[in-house]
Amino acid sequence: MKEISTKCLIIGSGPAGYTAAIYTSRANLNPILYRGIQPGGQLTTTTEIENFPGYPEGTTGPELMEDLSRQAERFGADLRDGIITSVDFSVRPLEATTDDGTLIKADTVIISTGATAKYLGLPDEEKYKGLGVSACATCDGFFYRGKRVAVVGGGDTACEEALYLSNLAAEVYLIVRKDHLRASKVMQRRVLDKANIKILFNTNTVGLYGEEFLEGAHLVEHKGHHTNERFYDLPLDGFFLAIGHQPNTEVFRPYIHLDDTGYIKTEGNTTITNIPGVFAAGDVADHRYRQAITAAGSGCKAALDAERYITEQE
């Protein structure tokens, strides 16, 4: 088994991981970063990004991740392709094993594995991802100004997304598979009071359609109830998923404290976890904001926390 050592192991790329790599490299921690199953994170599936500071003309997700990657490499970060398949945080130094069997011993670990948006599982979702299908209204809503969009979901997140889009789009459809909203009473009232939001109760999406870009959704009302079942097509420009995110934390579960939905718990406004020397940055510890810029900021915080920890140990 190949064995390597580092002062700082960063697990996962994306804005949080790459920013952590930039800061830890400048602090002479000689970090090793493993990019993970999706190098660059969720933003690599986003076509246009117009709200990340420093890009007045906008950029694309892949270009932004490439810029951050090159910046980290410029300061000496060791960026590697591969996946961390197991960890042992009960020993010192901390240990992690990669998919090729390499054992990494690290003084500190920064977890930036992100969270994966939940999708309906339709083949069409992948086909139109970035071409009309999105899991982030705050990220992509601007492109649907004055257009027709739909949001799938019935909880607080779905209502928040619908309300946000209602200030941009001409029409917003909230597709809810049940006969009621699960959202809080306050959120329900706000949605119901919005003139350009229409709620489609007892409705499931069974497919999407369009030539080059998304043009609409195939819907079914009262699915499975043959007497009331009704199929129809809804023309749309944008289709937003708001049925939750799944944090990528399974490999850390035996050691790291997680909340009820699987997000890593951190101490107060820091990136410190329950394991000394292990820090969490980005969407893996953030179920509220989930933005590229907030992920990058937490990557900076994790790097500073890791540097302070090493200094204190020395």
pLDDT, tens digit, 9 for 90 and up, residues 213-257: 999 999 999 987 877 889 999 999 999 999 988 899 999 999 999
Which residues, listed in sequence order, are joined to residue 134 by a DSSP beta bridge? 240
How many Å apart are CA 140 and CA 235, to the nearest integer?
19
Lowest-confidence region among 21-30, 34-43, 116-125, 200-209: 34-43
Better-predicted residue by pLDDT, 29 or 36: 29
Give the rounded distance of the alpha carbon of 32 from its chain centre.
22
Assessment of whether the complete model's pTM goes beyond 0.85: no
Contact yes or no for 139/42 (Cβ under 8 A): no
Residue 178: which residues within 8 A CB-CB, separation 6 or more?
154, 201, 202
Strands 230-235 and 216-221 turn out to be: antiparallel
Residue-level pLDDT at 45: 61
Q: If you compute the radius of gyration of the chain from its CA atoms, what whole number of angstroms results?
A: 21
CB contact set of 186 (below 8 Å; sequence gap of 6+): none
Q: How confident is the model at residue 157 (pLDDT cuts 50, 70, 90)?
A: confident
Which phi and psi angles does 235 have, rounded to 5°?
A: -65, 130
For residue 238, count CB atoms less than 10 angstroms from its CB and return exposed for 0-12, middle for 13-18, buried for 19 or more.
buried
C-alpha 115/C-alpha 100 separation (Å) is 24
Q: Which two tokens stand for residue 216?
A: 């609409």
Mean pLDDT over all residues of the chain? 93
Q: Which residues are marked as active site?
A: 136, 139-140
Residue labelled with tokens 């192991």: 9
pLDDT > 90? residue 3: yes
pLDDT-derived band at 5, boundaries 50, 70, 90? very high
27 or 288, higher pLDDT: 27
